[in-house]
Amino acid sequence: MLVSPLAMMMAGFTFGIVHALDADHVMAVSVLSARKPGFLKTLKFCVSWALGHGGMLLVIGALFFGLGYQLPEGLQLMAEAGVGVLLIVIGVFCFWRIHKQNLHLKSHCHGDLVHTHWHKESHKVSHTESNQDQLDKNPAQTSHAPMMVGMLHGLAGSAPALALVPLFSQGQQSGVEQLFYVAAYLLVFSLGVLISMSLFGLGLGFAQKKLASFNTRLFQWSRYLVATCSVLIGGFWLSQVL
């Protein structure tokens, strides 16, 4: 092998960190988090996306290297086109959800304690059951969406992630040892993606929280901006694939 396994692992980790911050990845996670804004929810969305992305890469890597299969070019093109369609769909759905919720923050004072939660413009929501509480009653509706989106991104972006895998077959290692290095490389790559996307989620959640507390109307407009960017980037992505 021309390059040492350690150097390959370091390169894979670096590629994973950079790969997570691709525009389509960042935009998809941003729009998903805008559907149910919140610090912990945003972080959960980012981690779920990264796990779906990494899981898909491991499956493709096992088929690509372990079983000797090759990912059909047509399937990869369909996945890349699906990313563009998905960005458009979740952007439009984000518009619809924001309009339907029409949320605003309202603060209540209880002595020295200030409590802030979400309200709808159209009617009053009780202090014990805010609109955000109602959204959280059925988390199964959106809990798997980030992971499914991550899996689609993993399928569409598998070529760059697996670009260095053939280098592991150029050495004198046995087949089992080569398979071990490939699995380790993909795990390290996925770890880089997970760490990078988690840090992005922390930053995004913090920004959402600060912006919501600073100016509710500005926060709402930021959600519209994210949805608009998702539709535009999705359209551009789709035009490049087709």
Region 196-204: mean pLDDT is 91
Asked if 39 and 209 count as a contact pair (C-beta separation under 8 A), the reply is: yes
SS3 (DSSP) at 114: strand
Domain count, the chain: 1
SS3 (DSSP) at 207: helix
Residue percentage of the chain with pLDDT more than 90: 19
* CA–CA distances in Å: residue 108 to residues 103, 139, 190: 16, 26, 44
Region 223-230: mean pLDDT is 90
List of residues 6+ apart from 197 with CB closer than 8 A? 20, 25, 29, 46, 47, 49, 50
Q: Is the pLDDT of residue 178 over 80?
A: no
Residue 117 burial (CB count, 10 A): 16
Q: Is the pLDDT of residue 203 over 70?
A: yes
Q: What secondary structure, in 3-state letters, does 4-18 show?
A: CHHHHHHHHHHHHHH
pLDDT tens-place string over residues 18-51: 988 888 899 888 888 876 667 788 888 899 999 9
Q: Is the pLDDT of residue 234 over 70?
A: yes
**Residue 92 belongs to domain spanning:** 5-241
Determine the Cα–Cα distance for residues 76 and 208; give it in Å rounded to an integer: 34
Region 55-67: mean pLDDT is 82
Residue 231 burial (CB count, 10 A): 19
pLDDT tens-place string over residues 85-141: 999 999 998 888 877 765 555 556 665 565 555 555 544 444 434 444 444 444 444
Mean pLDDT of all residues belonging to the chain: 77
CA nearest to 169, candidates 189, 185, 190? 185
**Alpha-helical segments (H) within the chain:** 5-20, 23-35, 39-61, 73-101, 131-136, 140-143, 145-156, 158-161, 175-214, 216-241
Dihedral, 75, 81, 86, 88 alpha carbons, nearest 10: -170
